[in-house]
Amino acid sequence: MVDIKNQAQELAYAQFGSKRLVGLQDVAIDLNRLNEPGIWAIIGSFEGAWLLLKFEKEIEITEEFSGDWQGVDPDSWTSSMSKTEYETAVEGLRQHIAQGDVYQANICRVLTTKIRKEGFDIEGLANLLTSQNPAPYSCVISVKKEAHERLTKDVSLVSASPELFLERNNQTIVSSPIKGTGKIATDLTDKDRAENVMIVDLVRNDLSRVCTTGSVEVPSLLEIQNHPGLVHLVSTVQGELKANTSWVEIFGATFPPGSVSGAPKLSALKLIKKFEKSDRGPYCGAIGWINTKNNTAKIAVGIRTFWKDQEKLLFGTGAGITWGSDPVSEWQETELKCATLFNVASKAQPKFEPNDV
């Protein structure tokens, strides 16, 4: 066991649950670098830009992070789309669905608030999320630009993602898309279930492009999962990778995640670009780790994620749109997905000091 206090001054680390990657060795943007042996933290933007961070080793951490968080006013966030703009986009997408251009697509918005450089350490926010909004794929990635010559700015991200994009164990690959959100289980509708099944079919098709014939299956369909403040419908798809399949091929077949794009995927991506007002960045992208030494990986969909850019804090939210969507209800779903996490981020978290224990 390694004491986190001894790691507090590191310029670079990536932590996934209790697994911390330390000893930054290299920074890359080319997915072909994943052909070489290494332990990598990855951030893939929804638009397809990749940041690959190669680390020397992984250690086990159980103590809290060291960082100050002063709290963000929940009313200070500005949205890339107003309520009216969002509802208009939903209705516009419904018309494309009526014309047969697409069956389903996500419409998302990115929210931004200003923060000061001092007193808003992402680690402090991570402590709040860990205690008040635990998530199966929580992570913190903190890399100062001084840590590597290829970096032009700090990398500072904390995620409470509930959704598995890809998990690999040797040749077995698994994806667990989420479709369907409500405050309680009885809020989930036939529209939610139909949308989930539609995306499961899309994910099956994506995985079949890199998996052996007949190996893709659905071991779990329409499972209800409880998370802080809401419930989700979750399904699981898995398959066996073809021999010598590279990560370039895997991401080429599956990225961006089907649950946050739509079906058919290419048509959905064109309409997302038409209707959304800003890039999503790491929101709805891929965040996780890949160990190319032993062919294991766990990568989350980049939802429920805060990231810092200079003196801005950003967060994304969205909803899946079908012909049966009501624009007002879809806006309310995007608000629901913000509510709990914005409440958590509004609180203060004092910096953890070595003499606190």
- 200-251 tens-digit pLDDT: 999 999 999 999 999 999 999 999 999 888 899 999 999 999 999 999 999 9
Give every residue of the chain whose pLDDT is below 70, as ranges: 1-9, 352-357
**CA contacts within 13 A on the Cβ side of 342:** 19
Structural domains of the chain, ranges and CATH numbers in brackets:
4-341 (3.60.120.10)
CB neighbours (10 Å) of residue 29?
Answer: 10
What pLDDT is recorded for position 66?
A: 86
**CA contacts within 13 A on the Cβ side of 153:** 9
pTM, 2 dp: 0.94
Going from the C-alpha of 123 to that of each of 117, 126, 262, 305, 341, the distances in angstroms are: 13, 5, 33, 13, 15
What pLDDT is recorded for position 224?
A: 95
Q: Are 57 and 22 in contact (CB under 8 A)?
A: yes
Tens of pLDDT, residue by residue over 305-343, are: 999 998 999 999 999 999 999 999 999 999 999 999 999
Burial of 44 (0-12, 13-18, 19+ CB in 10 A): buried
